[in-house]
Amino acid sequence: MNYSKNNINSKPSDLKAKKILIIEDQPIIQKLLTIFCDRSGFMCGVSDNAKSGYEMAIVDSYNLIITDINLPGEMSGIDFIIAYRIYEKKNNLPRLPIIANSANDYKIEAIEAGANYFLEKPFDLGLLEKVVSSIFTK
């Protein structure tokens, strides 16, 4: 579990309060996404597997989840999305936006599981920024 909170660029105060959960097993992509959050003024939590990511998601409060699909361990990213959507429904929680990403084409499976967006790896940080911005300005 890793938390980051550096506000490199100044953003409107409502965006600074946003918190993103990153579930990614590749350290370089974790670092890239953490830097993205830092530079965008978002706080973030990081998990390298879906099981601990799920635990983080239900214990802490996030505004967005970015999850890899191909994760090690007993839970894949698809399993995480399904489990988290069930948790939300059971607890009458509002639907949290989820961005799924993978090097393989799992778009249909991810969207059917409950992801709001799918980015194919390697993804462009400019596109990620546009998607996150559209989520937070709705």
The domain tally of the chain equals 1
Predicted local distance difference test score (pLDDT) of residue 122: 87
Whole-angstrom CA distances from 84 to 74, 76, 89, 91 are 15, 12, 9, 11
Q: Half-sphere exposure of 77 toward its Cβ, with a 13 Å CA cutoff?
A: 29
CATH code of the domain containing 90: 3.40.50.2300
pLDDT tens digits in sequence order for the chain, 138 residues long:
444 443 333 344 455 589 999 999 999 999 999 999 999 999 999 999 999 999 999 999 999 999 999 999 999 999 999 999 999 999 999 999 999 999 888 999 999 999 999 999 988 899 999 999 999 997
Predicted local distance difference test score (pLDDT) of residue 16: 59
Beta strands in 1-135 (DSSP E): 2-4, 19-23, 43-47, 64-68, 98-102, 117-120
Provide the residue range defining the domain that includes 64: 2-9+16-136
Predicted local distance difference test score (pLDDT) of residue 17: 84
The secondary structure element, H or E, covering residue 88 is helix 77-90
Predicted local distance difference test score (pLDDT) of residue 123: 85
Say which residues have a Cβ less than 8 Å from residue 73's Cβ, sequence separation at least 6. Answer: 49, 50, 51
Q: What is the pTM of this model?
A: 0.88
